[in-house]
Amino acid sequence: MIQIAVLGYGTVGSGVVEVINTNHDSINKRAENEINIKYVLDLRDFPGDPVEKVLVHDYEVIANDPEVDVVVEVMGGVEPAYTFTKRALEAGKSVCTSNKELVARHGTELLAIAKEHGANYLFEASCGGGIPIIRPLNSSLTADEIDEVTGILNGTTNYILSKMASDGSDFADVLKEAQRLGYAERNPEADVEGYDACRKIAILSSLAYGKEVNYEEVYTEGITKITAEDIKYATSMGTAIKLLATSRKVGDQYYAMVSPVMIDAKNPLYSVNGVFNAIFIHGNVLGDAMFYGSGAGKLPTASAVVADVVDCAKNKGRNIMMSWSEEKLDLLQIDDVKSRFFVRVSGHAAERQSEIEELFGKVEIVAVPSLSEEFAFITGEITEQEYREKAEKLDGIQSRIRARI
Amino acid sequence: MIQIAVLGYGTVGSGVVEVINTNHDSINKRAENEINIKYVLDLRDFPGDPVEKVLVHDYEVIANDPEVDVVVEVMGGVEPAYTFTKRALEAGKSVCTSNKELVARHGTELLAIAKEHGANYLFEASCGGGIPIIRPLNSSLTADEIDEVTGILNGTTNYILSKMASDGSDFADVLKEAQRLGYAERNPEADVEGYDACRKIAILSSLAYGKEVNYEEVYTEGITKITAEDIKYATSMGTAIKLLATSRKVGDQYYAMVSPVMIDAKNPLYSVNGVFNAIFIHGNVLGDAMFYGSGAGKLPTASAVVADVVDCAKNKGRNIMMSWSEEKLDLLQIDDVKSRFFVRVSGHAAERQSEIEELFGKVEIVAVPSLSEEFAFITGEITEQEYREKAEKLDGIQSRIRARI
């Protein structure tokens, strides 16, 4: 019997209880053991809910019960999740979590504590919801040196951008609709400003490259400035604008970045629409691979958490090595990162192309018939710094979006 | 030190040697051990190749060397691979393979032998080349009851169908070109008749549902009858024709089938083109997930084999439980499986629609301007037997393709 305690009976916590109840038999078979929910911790009461029988309000009950093998931390936020996780691991209890904020901030330390105490700290649900990506990165792609991880890691922003593209609507209107449908939070900042994706790419990169990537060093730009006009250009060019969270090896260095990027149909992420997430990986021998699925939602996320519980059951008393080490990964300064840039400017191409090409060299010109007082151009590959310096000398820039086309 | 022996120095075998040499440091780090190629078995000589130093012609050398921990069987075919694998496992050596024929035919027995001797029989490379799918099915999707596995599992046929769609060419012409480019074998039967995909879906289904699926019971239909005209209809309808290998739970029963299927852009497999493979999974709590990547090729396949070697190194003397049991999965008779059918018939819709609808009930009519002496209709969901019985009563059928639209 594997006794578990679920910290937090919110969306994911109640999903975990539901998944364990629904798939009881097959889960126990795969765990080679019976999984039993001994405690659920929440400050609230749930009168009439079957969970009442195992509900506790005080973490001490769980911390002091030596029978608890696995703690499922699905509270979110840094505190008290951090303290609770640390205490559990130090007591040799394994911890499974969906808490990307905590993993991004304290993953390195918590993994080391787990290892020291023969326990496991697993976080499959922290990135890409139900998509199996942490375990494949850690135990499937072991023959490869990974040189790129690029993901659509936030369902809210992908829904908004997909909807803007299909309906031609403005950001503000689609955001309101997404909030009404429950796809966006009332305070959408963490999603639309890219902070959520930033934490996730830091976690994935730490595993992929085997060194800690500090999420605070990842250049992050959200989607709030993307307009219906930008999308018009993108569509007319057969491209899509996606919020990509990416890290890449360039020569001997790595960079990491979250920003809207224009991609074309050749990119496997191009057709990832709505609330779906996907993670593209490039390995030096594997080549291209992509993992696709539901990036959020109660049951998909709970599915990933419970798969971690099964792994803890199968590996009781045995640490599963994680490739994420304590060494820090030095990231390239954003100024030195190279991209192509899609730039919208006022005026007419016939009059301004030579001025633009004097600055940027040969560019591609794009026009959209319904936007007659402006046009756009796409630069060759230049550094962020070069772009900024040249753009300062150009009047009438309406917007600029990085392009991988 | 983990000593390995590679059986077969063909495409995949030389890839395995190359991957281990190229990524030596990172592989050893992830394996927590040094991986050393002690032997390569091949009947041929390779004068001047560095492999000469470890080349042996006689399997007895490997079988009788107690230092060999892991045997990499990349010979293909059933014999002598089966005998060699069995002997290795019985001696407590783990075996990693890309040999889908052997896994499909004797997987159940070989897994049992491995378990009995505390060894492992791993076959990540047998399905989907470099795509991590076997390990995710076995150790990531453990919280779910999987009710569908549908894959584009053969790169040759996917290349041919993609090319037919993009160029409007005929099957025979594209096959010739694929052979010239090395994407198709000189004897393409195993690919184009669907036999290769059939073995792979039997393996994936055995893992997904936890019971042995006999590949000889999987209804299998290839792509040789698909014509440029079929593709014209598909394109005009915004659909694609793909060779899908699928198994699904319907009520309490399962069916498995390999056949060309018309799918639309809502299906995540729709945009999987060229030699790429992808596997779509549906779990009862996870929802939809898809795994995408290079389904074949020397290095991607070798990447998967070497990842298995790393797993064997990390689990020396410890069997990794596989969900594939000895129990047999009863498959639904093909006659009882339901599909929609796309059917091309001669004549004009205006004259024949009532005759057709008398047989099939309400159908959708499709016409392509350049094909004026025929049209097509799409039935509702009916069983294979119903389709056959009704189709016998209808004159002038040019082709029929199953449709998931």
Per-residue pLDDT of B185-214, as tens digits, reads 999 999 999 999 999 999 999 999 999 999
Q: What is the mean pLDDT of residues A30-51?
A: 96
Angle A361-A366-A371 from CA coordinates, rounded to 5°:
135
Query: In chain B, whose CA is at the least distance from the CA of A269?
Result: B271
Q: Rounding to the nearest 10 degrees, give the CA dihedral for residues B333, B337, B342, B345.
A: 50
Question: Per CATH, which fold does A135-294 belong to?
Answer: Dihydrodipicolinate Reductase; domain 2 (3.30.360)
Sole residue written with tokens 């808490």: A99
Q: What is the pLDDT of residue A287?
A: 96
Choose between B183 and A133: higher pLDDT. Answer: A133
Q: What is the pLDDT of residue A182?
A: 87
How confident is the prediction for chain A on average, in pLDDT? 97
Q: What is the pLDDT of residue B182?
A: 87
Class of the CATH-defined domain B2-129+298-314: alpha beta
- Assess B265–A contact: CB distance below 8 Å, yes or no: yes
Kindly report the nearest CA distance between residue A22 and chain B, in angstroms.
9
Q: Is the pLDDT of residue B95 over 90?
A: yes
Residues A205-222: tens digit of each pLDDT = 999 999 999 999 999 999
Q: What is the pLDDT of residue A47?
A: 95
Q: Rounding to the nearest 10 degrees, give the CA dihedral for residues B100, B103, B106, B111.
A: 170
Q: What is the pLDDT of residue B71?
A: 98
Helices B228-236, B155-167: axis angle to 10 degrees equals 70
Please give the single-letter amino acid code of residue A157.
T
Whether B285 and A302 lie within 8 Å, measured CB to CB: yes
Distance CA B170, CA B223 (A): 12
Residues A85-139: tens digit of each pLDDT = 999 999 999 999 999 999 999 999 999 999 999 999 999 999 999 999 999 999 9
Query: In chain A, whose CA is at the least distance from the CA of B141?
Result: A307
Q: What is the pLDDT of residue A200?
A: 98
Q: What is the pLDDT of residue A89?
A: 98
- Assess B32–A contact: CB distance below 8 Å, yes or no: yes
Sole residue written with tokens 């060194």: A211
Structure tokens at B361: 């009930």
Q: What is the mean pLDDT of residues B114-124?
A: 98
Q: Which CATH architecture has domain B336-404?
A: 2-Layer Sandwich (3.30)
Distance CA B322, CA B89 (A): 15
Whether A286 and B268 lie within 8 Å, measured CB to CB: no
For residue B132, list its beta bridge partners.
none
Class of the CATH-defined domain A334-404: alpha beta
- Assess B292–A contact: CB distance below 8 Å, yes or no: yes
Which residue in B142, B271, B284 is closest to A307 by CB distance? B142
Burial of A79 (0-12, 13-18, 19+ CB in 10 A): exposed
- The tally of CA atoms less than 13 A away on the side-chain side of residue B347 is 16
Q: b or e along B167-194 (b: 16 or more beta carbons within 10 Å of the residue's beta carbon)?
A: eebebeebbeebeeeebbeeebebbbbb
Query: Is B393 known to be catalytic?
Result: no
Helix then strand then coil, in percent of chain A rounded to 5, is 40, 25, 35
Query: B89 and B115 in contact (C-beta within 8 Å)?
Result: no
- Known binding-site positions of B: 7-14, 100, 185
Backbone angles phi, psi at A335, to 5 degrees: -55, -30
Query: A247 and A205 in contact (C-beta within 8 Å)?
Result: yes
- Known binding-site positions of A: 7-14, 100, 185
Residues A364-376: tens digit of each pLDDT = 999 999 999 999 9
Question: What are the residue ranges of helices labelled H in B80-138?
Answer: 81-90, 100-116, 134-135
Q: How confident is the model at residue B32 (pLDDT cuts 50, 70, 90)?
A: very high
Q: What is the H or E stretch that residue A3 is in?
A: strand A2-7
Angle B334-B338-B344 from CA coordinates, rounded to 5°:
100
Residues A270-323: tens digit of each pLDDT = 999 999 999 999 999 999 999 999 988 999 999 999 999 999 999 999 999 899
CA B281 to chain centre: 14
- Known binding-site positions of B for NADP(+): 7-14
Q: Is the pLDDT of residue B295 over 90?
A: no
ipTM value: 0.95
Whether A135 and B140 lie within 8 Å, measured CB to CB: yes
Q: CB under 8 Å to A173, separation ≥6 — which residues?
A: none
Burial of B338 (0-12, 13-18, 19+ CB in 10 A): middle
Distance CA B212, CA B214 (A): 6
Residues A189-208: tens digit of each pLDDT = 999 999 999 999 999 999 99
Residues B342-372: tens digit of each pLDDT = 999 999 999 999 999 999 999 999 999 999 9
- Known binding-site positions of A for NADPH: 100
How confident is the prediction for chain B on average, in pLDDT? 97
Backbone angles phi, psi at A18, to 5 degrees: -65, -45
For residue A147, list its beta bridge partners.
none
Angle A162-A164-A169 from CA coordinates, rounded to 5°:
160
- Assess A207–B contact: CB distance below 8 Å, yes or no: no
Q: Rounding to the nearest 10 degrees, give the CA dihedral for residues B370, B372, B373, B375.
A: 90
Q: What is the pLDDT of residue B101?
A: 97
Whether A132 and B144 lie within 8 Å, measured CB to CB: no
Kindly report the nearest CA distance between residue B101 and chain A, in angstroms.
22
Q: Are strands A146-152 and A364-366 parallel, antiparallel or unpaired?
A: unpaired
Whether B268 and A265 lie within 8 Å, measured CB to CB: no
Kindly report the nearest CA distance between residue B135 and chain A, in angstroms.
7
CA A280 to chain centre: 12
Name the active-site residue from A38, A93, A163, A200. Answer: A200
Provide the residue ranges of all domains of chain A, joining segments of one domain with +.
2-129+298-314, 135-294, 334-404
Which residue in B29, B285, B292 is closest to A299 by CB distance? B285
At CB < 8 A and 24+ separation, what contacts does A48-52 make?
A51/A9, A51/A14, A51/A17
Whether A304 and B22 lie within 8 Å, measured CB to CB: no
Q: What percent of chain A is predicted at pLDDT more than 90?
A: 98
Query: A151 and A128 in contact (C-beta within 8 Å)?
Result: yes
Whether A23 and B302 lie within 8 Å, measured CB to CB: no
Q: CB under 8 Å to B346, separation ≥6 — which residues?
A: B373, B374, B395, B396, B398
Q: Which of residues 117-146 of B touch A (CB under 8 A)?
A: 124, 130-132, 135-136, 139-145
Backbone angles phi, psi at B353, to 5 degrees: -55, -40
First to last CA, chain A: 54
Q: Is the pLDDT of residue B296 over 90?
A: no
Distance CA A378, CA A364 (A): 5
CA A181 to chain centre: 21
Whether the upstream peptide bond of residue B80 has omega within 30° of 0, thus cis, is yes
Whether B136 and A132 lie within 8 Å, measured CB to CB: yes
